[in-house]
Amino acid sequence: MSLPAPRIPGRPLVLGHRGASRDAPENTLAAFHLAMAQGADGFELDVWRCASGEPVVIHDATATRTAGAPLQVVRQPLSRLKQLDAGAWKGPGHRGQRIPTLAEVLAAFPRAVVNVELKSDGLGDPRLAAAVARLAAAPGAEERVLVSSFDYALLAAFRLLAPRVPVGLLFARSQRWELRQSLGAALRPAAVHPERTLATDARVAAWRSRGLAVNVWTVDDPAEVERLARAGAEGIICNAPGEARRAVERALGR
């Protein structure tokens, strides 16, 4: 049986979406450090398995957008990916940021809640599930790691390999999300991760009544953050954690 999803009593977790990605280059150590400095409880990140086997933290299937190199992540060894600059696209002050591995992130932030999204091109890599399972199930990690994916087959592979680590069902408005939610129930999820437009007060209440943590993405409107905090959402995934944290405190009268 899995552990419950990470929670903080009395208020929602504030998780930086790929770190503090409004102000720093997404999915880099700089973005994760800034998220924590702004008051986040942790952050969401994305992982692919590179050619040498390590789970690396990057959102896209290629390094084109965030590292300026038209390379497929899954076909490059870590040594090649580490040569890329993952920060320069965000501005000259961010030059020199590298694509981190998941192991590096977990080691650098031993107290942060980390939502790991397993990435897939539709042909989910079971070796990615296995590599992340080894890291997420390590002592000191399984209590603060939550693993999610839009690829439920990949999530099922992870669930079998790390049964104690909680998983979350990701779904978006553009998908047949109600069907996905029903199919995903077989994974015994600890959480649901709906796109913000799906997280009405009534749905938040219904999910919570089933014992599910509700972690909503991506929420950058302070008024929406306040509404979700009052509705009882367990997590707010956002690009500007400092603003979200202040909105949570306003909503709860702190």
Q: Which of 45, 39, 37 shows the shortest CA–CA distance to 11?
A: 39
Q: Are 167 and 158 in contact (CB under 8 A)?
A: yes
Number of neighbours of residue 135 by Cβ within 10 angstroms: 23
Q: Which of 17, 33, 94, 193 is catalytic?
A: 17
Q: Is 203 exposed, middle or buried (0-12, 13-18, 19+ CB in 10 A)?
A: middle
17 among known catalytic residues: yes
Number of neighbours of residue 49 by Cβ within 10 angstroms: 22
| Cα 13 from chain centroid (whole Å) | 12
Number of neighbours of residue 77 by Cβ within 10 angstroms: 12
Catalytically active residues, by annotation: 17, 59
